[in-house]
């Protein structure tokens, strides 16, 4: 991420968690800096290294590194969850449909509860007003879930299966991009509790979305200047 984004995130999470603010001990000696605490958390997330391996590089012990990661991930979720992990609104849907004109499927977190932003599109002369999930055979048979066709026989079903699986691969590739950015998602997770993993994964997704948004703003500004 860019330095400006790093500084912005650090400022925001300091407002919700005092642990991330540098303090002094009883003798007046300064403790670990806010930057050190955030860097050690990002180091563990990005490289997936054990907490006891960061002392050599960042001069923070194992227990402190674990505490820094836990405070960091919980602060990130508390600060940004409502913005970067919200369900897509109509503006988001319109943008996604415009960007992926040839790929008409979208994912909506609220579909399973019968709620979703309006998404108007037409397939085979049939008008639809709600998005849907692309899924494989293990998912339930719901109206908002579209599965591939197992062993398609005729040409029409073969085309459907091929296009369906191609779109599903787009989603899988997106998750691999997340894994590439945060190695902790792809390595063994021994030592982390279920609660820790919950916040770790959500933090990785939020940070990924923030970085993508920041990079998109850079490109838009460059195009405007041109």
Do residues 19 and 74 both lie within one domain? yes
Angle formed by the axes of helices 194-225 and 62-84, to 10°? Answer: 60
The answer as to whether 59 is a domain residue is yes
Rounded-to-integer distance, Cα 120 and Cα 7, Å: 40
What is the model's pLDDT at position 177?
A: 78
The answer as to whether 19 is a domain residue is yes
Let me know: does 170 contact 103? Beta carbons within 8 Å: yes
Do residues 111 and 78 both lie within one domain? no
Rounded-to-integer distance, Cα 138 and Cα 90, Å: 30
Residues pairing with 145 in the sheet: 133
Rounded-to-integer distance, Cα 39 and Cα 65, Å: 10
The answer as to whether 160 is a domain residue is no
Do residues 11 and 72 both lie within one domain? yes
Let me know: does 35 contact 72? Beta carbons within 8 Å: no
Sequence-distant (≥ 6) Cβ neighbours of residue 197 within 8 angstroms: 189
Count of positions (residues) in the chain: 226
**Whole-number Cα distances in Å, 67 to 30, 46, 192, 204:** 18, 17, 12, 17
Do residues 80 and 105 both lie within one domain? no
The answer as to whether 35 is a domain residue is yes
pTM above 0.85, yes or no: no
> Given its phi and psi angles, is residue 191 left (phi above 0), alpha (psi -120 to 50 degrees) or beta?
left
Do residues 13 and 58 both lie within one domain? yes
- The number of folded domains in the chain is 2
What is the model's pLDDT at position 31?
A: 82
What is the model's pLDDT at position 105?
A: 44
Beta-carbon neighbour count of residue 111 at 10 Å? 19
Do residues 114 and 187 both lie within one domain? no
What is the model's pLDDT at position 106?
A: 45
Let me know: does 159 contact 148? Beta carbons within 8 Å: no
Do residues 80 and 188 both lie within one domain? yes
Rounded-to-integer distance, Cα 150 and Cα 189, Å: 34
C-alpha dihedral sign at 156, 159, 162, 163: negative
What is the model's pLDDT at position 41?
A: 92
Closest CA to 70 of 210, 177, 191: 191
The answer as to whether 177 is a domain residue is no
Do residues 77 and 188 both lie within one domain? yes
Domain that holds residue 68: 3-84+182-225
pLDDT in tens, the chain (226 residues): 889 999 999 999 999 888 888 888 778 888 888 999 999 999 999 888 888 787 777 778 888 889 999 999 999 999 999 888 887 777 777 776 676 655 464 444 555 555 655 667 776 677 777 666 676 666 666 666 677 777 778 888 788 777 777 777 766 777 777 888 888 887 766 678 889 989 999 999 999 989 988 888 776 666 665 5
The answer as to whether 141 is a domain residue is yes
Rounded-to-integer distance, Cα 38 and Cα 19, Å: 11
Do residues 78 and 108 both lie within one domain? no
Do residues 136 and 193 both lie within one domain? no
The answer as to whether 120 is a domain residue is yes
Do residues 78 and 187 both lie within one domain? yes
Do residues 80 and 186 both lie within one domain? yes
The answer as to whether 158 is a domain residue is no
């Amino acid at each position: 991420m860019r330095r400006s984004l790093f500084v912005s995130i650090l400022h925001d999470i300091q407002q919700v968690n005092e642990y991330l603010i540098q303090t002094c001990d009883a003798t007046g000696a300064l403790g670990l800096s806010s930057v050190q605490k955030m860097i050690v958390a990002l180091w563990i997330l990005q490289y997936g290294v054990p907490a006891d391996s960061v002392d050599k590089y960042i001069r923070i012990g194992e227990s402190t590194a674990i505490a820094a990661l836990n405070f960091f991930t919980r602060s990130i979720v508390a600060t940004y969850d409502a913005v970067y992990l919200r369900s897509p609104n109509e503006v988001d849907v319109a943008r996604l449909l415009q960007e992926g004109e040839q790929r008409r499927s979208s994912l909506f977190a609220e579909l399973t509860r019968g709620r979703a932003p309006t998404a108007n599109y037409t397939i085979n002369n049939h008008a639809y007003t709600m998005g849907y999930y692309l899924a494989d055979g293990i998912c339930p048979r719901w109206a908002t879930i579209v599965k591939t066709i197992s062993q398609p026989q005729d040409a029409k079903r073969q085309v459907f299966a091929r296009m369906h699986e191609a779109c599903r691969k787009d989603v899988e590739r997106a998750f691999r991009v997340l894994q590439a950015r945060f190695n902790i998602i792809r390595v063994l997770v021994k030592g982390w509790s279920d609660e820790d993993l919950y916040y770790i994964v959500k933090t990785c997704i939020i940070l990924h979305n923030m970085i993508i948004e920041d990079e998109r703003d850079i490109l838009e500004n460059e195009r405007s200047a041109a």
